[in-house]
Copies of this chain bind each other. A is one copy, B any other.
């Protein structure tokens, strides 16, 4: 009778009952990341393949994830959280309207080169795969957009510039940066700086556009 009761009272202890897990979710996630690459998308990994890479029997996979899709969603959420943190920090380090674009794009591209496989999950796997998969990526994009939108309004106030439809500005910038990032992923190193400078100009055009409209220098329709 108190067996059940004590289980319910000590859920942490329950996880350590019986044989200790020799393999963890993290190990499986790491194994999956080993397998992805420029020509290998997460959604094409097989359960057996991941298990093999992790050094466990195929069936052991089930103890940790229902299927490869669930693994992928976990990885996507991790990648998204990590990217948002990096960018958020970069944006808060810079406060003038001009340098904030540069430092944010630079932070993004740095993350892009240093965490290629990780970033690939967000940049180029959002359009194929299961619904769970696609909406996990979409969710991260929207988080990103929302945070950017808030910062845009904050910056506009701080710099005393206008801003027209900050929601759409945030969306434009996010989608553009992610799209350009996706192609930049397999760019040779000597072209990277150039691509980054181009991207900065592109983002500035959007910023200039929204300001010009808000400040009535041009009519929009």
Contact = CB atoms under 8 A, between A and B. Distances in A.
Interface of A: 39, 41, 43-44, 98, 123-125, 127-131, 138, 164-165, 168-169, 171-172, 175-176, 178-180, 182-183, 198, 201-202, 204-213, 217-218, 220-221
| Secondary structure class of chain A's binding surface, majority of residues | helix
A220 B211 CA distance: 13
A49 to B, nearest CB: 15
Contact of A220 (B124, B198, B201): B201
Contact of A168 (B41, B172, B202): B202
A42 to B, nearest CB: 9
A210 B218 CA distance: 12
B204 A209 contact: yes
A208 B179 contact: no
Most buried by B among A169, A201, A209, A218: A209
9 contacts: A98-B221, A123-B127, A124-B127, A125-B127, A127-B182, A179-B179, A204-B221, A207-B209, A209-B209
Contacts of A213: 204-205, 208
Contacts of A43: 128
A204 B214 CA distance: 13
Closest 7 CB pairs of A and B: A124-B127, A209-B209, A205-B209, A175-B179, A208-B209, A41-B128, A212-B212
